[in-house]
Amino acid sequence: MWRYVLRRLIESAVTLVLVTIVVFIGVRALPGDPARALAAEESDPETIAAIRAEYGLDQPIPVQYVRYVGKAVQGDLGTSARTRLSVTETIGHALPVTLQLATFAIVVAVLIGVGAGVVAAVRRRTASEWVANSVALLGLSIPNFWFGLMAVLIFAVAYPILPASGFVSVFDNPVESFRHLLMPAIVLGSGLAAVIMRQTRSAMLEALSADYVRTARAKGLGGTQVVLGHALRNSLIVVTTIVGLQLGLLISGAVVTEQIFVLPGFGKLTIDAVFTRDYPMIQGVVLVTATAYIGINLLVDLLYSVIDPRIRVGGRVT
């Protein structure tokens, strides 16, 4: 077991190093000189040269890389070239925003998706199913940015019941946080809700025709109990898998949603950093993302090995 853990740890470390190299080179391969981008309107050659020297951009890339990694392992991701604020701190501000948004969006998506999926399966060939299916189709087809703009126009401009933008942390003021995140979460969760609805519906249809459901009914259980207690419970395994698979989609969708609702989250941070060629910020953002992905993968692999001992010996599963 420990050998397996050690091997996976080393593999993860190697992956992380490779990621940092790719990012480092990739960022520098972007067209556009970062010193020129940072110089903005003050683009005289001395200013640009001074910026280059200040951020070590005049050094060979390997030198820049070693310097960067040396600091990064000490938790210092440098300072933003644009604002001179600490990259670590800036990411620290942005990450909770996206996490809260994503969590809320998942809750919304599961509530809507599972609810509609169950209704569509139970009330087959009725108006309810048709409505649920249509909503799912819309949820999948409508782009986030359009849905978001429409939501703002209706619920913030025409009928001002919700704020058009901004973020309040759930830990500071739960009520205001709910009001600020409701629209973004629905917009972000809509696509996921549609996927969940369709999967729930088909899983429910399968479950409802399964033997154990017939048995449950034969035993005289009430409709609700059969649907929620037996059929849905078994269908949720599929839903859980889907939510896991769609997480990536949710995070990339958050980029657009954060722009529309002006949420100072991770996605907005990334986009703005790329557009302003803020190298330290781009590197920091990607490093944190890569570390998170690698960390989660590692954790999942290790959990698998706990659940299924055969995985530990890797490749030699019979």
Partner 1 sequence: MPYPSPLLRRAVLLVAVTLAASACSSIDSPGGGESAAPDNRPLRAGGELRVALANEPDLLDPTLARTLVGRTVFNAICEKLYDLDAKLNIVPQLASAAPEISADGKTVTVKIRQGLKFADGTTMDAAAVKTSLDRHRTLKGSARTSELSSVDRVDVVDQSTVAIQLKAPFAPLAAVLADRAGMILSPAAVTAQGDKFATNPVCIGPFKFSSRIAQDRIEVVKDPNYYNAGNVKLDKVTYRIIADSSTRFNNLRSGDVEVLDTVAATDVDALQADANLRLVTSQSLGYQGITLNLGNVNGVGNAPGQLAAPYASALSSDARVRRAFSMSLDRDAINRVVFRGQFAPACGPISPDSPLSSEAAQACPKHDPAGAKALLGQAGVATPVRATMIIGTDAQARRLGEAIQAQAREGGFELALQPTEFSASLDQTDQGKYQMFQIGWSGRVDPDGNIANFLKTKGAQNAAGYSNPEMDRLIDEARATTDQAKRRELYGQIVKLEQEDAPLIYLYRQKNLLGLSSKVGGVQMYGDGILRFGEAGFFA
Selected from 27, 39, 110, 204, the binder of partner 1 by CB under 8 A is 39
Does residue 187 belong to the site contacting partner 1 (CB under 8 A)?
A: no
Residue with smaller CB distance to partner 1, 190 or 257: 257
- Cα separations in angstroms, 247 against 62, 240, 277, 291: 35, 11, 27, 16
Smallest distance from partner 1 to CB 271, Å:
9
Q: Which stretch binds partner 1 (CB under 8 A): 12-20, 78-86, 128-136, 303-311?
A: 78-86
Q: Looking only at residues 156 through 185 of this chain, which bind partner 1 when binding is defined by CB under 8 A?
A: 156-157, 160, 163-167
Distance from first CA to last CA of the chain, Å, rounded? Answer: 18
Does residue 93 belong to the site contacting partner 1 (CB under 8 A)?
A: yes
Does residue 47 belong to the site contacting partner 1 (CB under 8 A)?
A: yes
Smallest distance from partner 1 to CB 78, Å:
13
Q: Which stretch binds partner 1 (CB under 8 A): 9-17, 58-66, 235-243, 271-279?
A: 271-279
Residue with smaller CB distance to partner 1, 36 or 123: 36
d(CA 169, CA 259): 18
Smallest distance from partner 1 to CB 30, Å:
8
Binding site for partner 1 (CB under 8 A): 30-34, 36-47, 50-51, 53-54, 80, 82-85, 90, 93-94, 149, 152-153, 156-157, 160, 163-167, 259-262, 264, 268-269, 272, 275-277
